[in-house]
Amino acid sequence: MEQYNVHTAKTHLSKLLEKVAKGEEVIISKGNEPVAVLKKYEPPKKKRQGGQWKGKVWMADDFDEFGDELQEMFGMKE
């Protein structure tokens, strides 16, 4: 990651933006102290919303019940 002071960043902002568009990150510093990172914009991820499969998938009422054989195999039945 390259570091530029504020004056240089202002003078060469277009060139820095070209670097950022290619995926590079640039540190902007005031004096020798880093104060900002210039990086490529990523749009916010869409929040997941449930219900897309409603009416498309059927599940038996007893889908999560174990039969006698499985209960014996997993030590659930004495």
Could you tell me the residue ranges of all domains in the chain? 2-38
Determine the 3-state secondary structure of 35 from DSSP.
strand
Band of residue 78 on the pLDDT scale cut at 50, 70, 90? low
Q: Answer with the residue of higher pLDDT: 76 or 4.
A: 4
Which residues face 4 on adjacent strands?
Answer: 28
CATH of segment(s) 2-38: 3.40.1620.10
Contact 26, 16 (CB under 8 A): yes
Q: What tens digit of pLDDT does each residue of 18-77 get?
A: 999 999 999 999 988 999 999 999 999 988 888 888 899 888 888 888 788 888 888 887
Cα–Cα distance for residue pair 63/53, rounded to 1 Å: 17
